[in-house]
Amino acid sequence: MSSYKALAFTLQVFLLLVVRLQSSMATIPPVLCPPPPPPSQPTMYVVYSPSITAANGTVPPNATRVPVAGIQGMPFNLKQFGTVFVIDDNITATPDPTTVIGVIQGTITVTSFDGSYIQFSVTFIFNSGPYANATLVVLGATDGRLTTLTAPVVGGTNAFLYATGFVTAEILYSQGSLTLEKITIVYKIRP
Ligand SMILES: *[C@@H]1O[C@H](CO)[C@@H](O)[C@H](O)[C@H]1NC(C)=O
Ligand SMILES: *[C@@H]1O[C@H](CO)[C@@H](O)[C@H](O)[C@H]1NC(C)=O
Ligand SMILES: *[C@@H]1O[C@H](CO)[C@@H](O)[C@H](O)[C@H]1NC(C)=O
Ligand SMILES: *[C@@H]1O[C@H](CO)[C@@H](O)[C@H](O)[C@H]1NC(C)=O
């Protein structure tokens, strides 16, 4: 083969490859981002939480909500602006305080001058039950004078990964420092 023929042959092969490549490219659909899956349906999960609140200078030995800071000279309680409580309340599967499935840990701060609104910044930590090993983060200010408090769910881990929604906490029983709340968690998983 002369060098001219060799060149012509190489060119032919090259063109053939280009045509093949173009035709195979034509069959590849354009790359588009898949649409996000729709959010899950709302799921409801009801738990209970007994708590023992320390206030006004008295700290019961089994207290789960203890004021750690506040305005000097004012009583430290859930109605006094500026009071910060650290909490470690049990979560129970039923109103029976022995059916413990986790804890609620974080802070509650009285954020209204008139003592009406309190800010929750807490994590629900589940160690047994259907949500074992999952955590749920609840954050928001709510009117503490109501018997049912509502606060947003802003996220979580494991079974609660990408969870958004809200919780309501209804006081079922309150006597002295002891309170029993029914907590309803309503959430969707948003991928
Ligand atoms: C603390 O005192 C306030 C009034 O200053 C009262 O409303 C509240 O119930 C008291 N809290 C406890 C746990 O005794
Ligand atoms: C908390 O402790 C007090 C006094 O030690 C006791 O009377 C009360 O029964 C305890 N409450 C709970 C729920 O453990
Ligand atoms: C919280 O649960 C633990 C067991 O996990 C128990 O020892 C403790 O008494 C409970 N606290 C209250 C206030 O119910
Ligand atoms: C929770 O974690 C423990 C230990 O890491 C594991 O044995 C258990 O299977 C986990 N449970 C769930 C529901 O993921």
Find the mean pLDDT for residues 132-137: 97
Is the distance from the beta carbon of residue 53 to the nearest atom of ligand 1 less than 6 Å? yes
Q: Is residue 123 part of a domain?
A: yes
Specify whether 47 is located in the same domain as 22. no
pLDDT per residue over 154-164, tens digit each? 999 999 999 99
* Residue 3: per-residue pLDDT: 60
pLDDT at 179 over 60: yes
pLDDT per residue over 54-81, tens digit each? 988 889 999 999 999 999 999 999 999 9
Structural domain including 67 reads 43-189
**Residues comprising the chain, all counted:** 191
- What mean pLDDT value characterizes the chain? 89
Residue whose C-alpha is closest to residue 84's, from 49, 54, 52, 63: 54
Helical spans, DSSP H, in 45-171: none
Specify whether 15 is located in the same domain as 52. no
pTM reported for the whole predicted model: 0.80
* Residue 121: per-residue pLDDT: 98
Specify whether 12 is located in the same domain as 100. no
Point out which residues pair with 55 in neighbouring strands. 58
pLDDT per residue over 75-112, tens digit each? 999 999 999 999 999 999 999 999 999 999 999 999 99
Q: How far is the CA of 11 from the centre of ligand 2 (A)?
A: 92
Separation of alpha carbons 120 and 140, rounded Å: 5
pLDDT at 36 over 80: no
* Residue 33: per-residue pLDDT: 76
Whether the Cβ atoms of residue 104 and residue 124 lie closer than 8 Å to each other: yes
Specify whether 84 is located in the same domain as 173. yes
Q: Is residue 91 part of a domain?
A: yes
Q: How far is the CA of 30 from the centre of ligand 2 (A)?
A: 67
161-to-73, 83, 135, 140, 164 alpha-carbon distances in Å: 43, 32, 8, 19, 9
Specify whether 47 is located in the same domain as 27. no
Separation of alpha carbons 12 and 92, rounded Å: 78
Is the distance from the beta carbon of residue 167 to the nearest atom of ligand 1 less than 6 Å? no
Is the distance from the beta carbon of residue 41 to the nearest atom of ligand 2 less than 6 Å? no
Whether the Cβ atoms of residue 168 and residue 185 lie closer than 8 Å to each other: no
Instruction: Give residue 21's pLDDT band: very low, low, confident or very high (50, 70, 90).
Output: low
Q: How far is the CA of 177 from the centre of ligand 2 (A)?
A: 10
Q: Is residue 97 part of a domain?
A: yes
Specify whether 108 is located in the same domain as 158. yes
Residue of the CA atom closest to atom 10 of ligand 3: 90
Q: How many domains does the chain have?
A: 2
Point out which residues pair with 86 in neighbouring strands. 66, 107
* Residue 11: per-residue pLDDT: 60
Q: How far is the CA of 59 from the centre of ligand 2 (A)?
A: 11
